[in-house]
Amino acid sequence: MKKFIHQPRFTPKGYSEEVEAKIQHYKKEGYRLPQRHLLRTAQQIEGIRASARINTALLDYIADHIQEGMTTADIDHMVYCFTTDHDAIPAPFLYEGFPKSVCTSINEVVCHGIPSTHEVLKDGDIINVDVSTIYKGYFSDASRMFLIGNVSPEMRRLVQVTKECRDIGVQTAQPWTRLGDVGAAIQEHAEKNGYSVVRDLCGHGCGVKFHEEPDVEHFGKRGTGMLIVPGMTFTIEPMINMGRYDVYIDEADGWTVLTDDGLPSAQWESQILITETGNEILTE
């Protein structure tokens, strides 16, 4: 005897009528909802996934080659060559004037470090490599921390807890929860371990553009913020400081963000797709 399985009917946007009904319910309840163009179509999702596969492969490639004695300009060259060899474009290059293909942020640099021939990776450094890819018009984004040589236990712990913060954020970002839930979960874990969460920078929507709504803060209060709805794609990328959360931008280049107290910072970033049953990690 054939078993009949309920097949949900889908709206032209691509998500099910059950999702549409929930959207209407939460709208009536007064929740802040994402704009409809932020809920990806099936075609857009496939395009973003293809971009994300290149982006993740690029970080794997860097992981296999990064080493002490290399300059951050060497990393930039690797990123440019790998990306263009895969018929893609490094998204950071000339984005709002950024001069390179990748952000390389060492030790007390929180993010947006500019690669340089004068910046050499030394024994004991920690470095965040943040890569973003445009493939056939679709965007992906991720970053990883790398440990160079004999890194101190204190720095290793910072890197590990920051990764845990990213993972907790991903686990918390479930359909029909709130963005404030994600930020609160990250903040709780960071502060429980004696660290602080950078306030001035955040994750973001990503997929059809490099940076879109929503802003995804890594601190906050549960039960607040935009409702997380199936079809959204955004990054979770906590920046966790060993000391205070205060940061400043280097006036010399207008990009490099550093900790105000000179203590180390770490960051891990993933891009996720919110599905009807949970989420899909696109990049890591």
Q: Are 178 and 26 in contact (CB under 8 A)?
A: no
The pLDDT value recorded for residue 16 is: 78
Please report the pLDDT score of residue 274 as a whole number: 98
Q: How far is CA 133 from CA 86, 113, 183, 221, 223, in A?
A: 10, 17, 25, 32, 33
> What pLDDT, in 10s, does the model give residues 97-106?
999 999 999 9
Helix (H) or strand (E) holding 166: helix 153-172
Largest CA distance in the chain: 74
Q: What pTM was estimated for this model as a whole?
A: 0.93
CA distance 283 to 166: 12
pLDDT confidence of residue 17: 86
Model pLDDT for residues 43-76, shown as the tens digit of each residue: 999 999 999 999 999 999 999 999 999 999 999 9
Q: What is the pLDDT of residues 199-245, one digit of tens each?
A: 999 999 999 999 999 999 999 999 999 999 999 999 999 999 999 99
Q: What is the pLDDT of residue 6?
A: 35
DSSP3 helix / strand / coil % (the chain, rounded to 5): 30, 25, 45
The whole-angstrom separation of Cα 122 and Cα 215 is 34
pLDDT of residue 8: 38
Query: CB of 207 within 8 A of CB of 42?
Result: no
Nearest alpha carbon to residue 257 among 128, 66, 165 = 128
pLDDT of residue 14: 58
The pLDDT, as a whole number, for residue 88 is: 98
Q: Residues 162-174: pLDDT tens digits?
A: 999 999 999 999 9
Contact (CB, 8 A) for 147 and 135: no
190 phi and psi, to 5 degrees?
-65, -50
State whether residue 256 is helix, strand or coil. Answer: coil
Say yes or no to pLDDT of 4 above 60.
Answer: no
Whether 7 has a pLDDT exceeding 90, the answer reads: no
Q: Give the C-alpha separation, 198 to 182, whole Å.
A: 15
Place of tokens 């906590």: 238
pLDDT band at 283 (very low <50, low <70, confident <90, very high): very high
Beta strands 233-236 and 257-259, pairing class: unpaired
The pLDDT tens digits of the residues spanning 259-278 come to 999 999 999 999 999 999 99
Mean pLDDT in residue range 29-33: 96
**How many whole angstroms separate alpha carbon 169 and alpha carbon 181?**
9
State whether residue 93 is helix, strand or coil. coil
Residue 13 has pLDDT above 80, yes or no: no
CA-to-CA distance for 42 and 39, rounded, in angstroms? 10
Confidence (pLDDT) at 15: 67
Which domains are present in the chain? 32-283 (3.90.230.10)
Contact 143, 204 (CB under 8 A): no
pLDDT at 2 over 50: no
Q: What are phi and psi of 35, to 5 degrees?
A: -65, 150
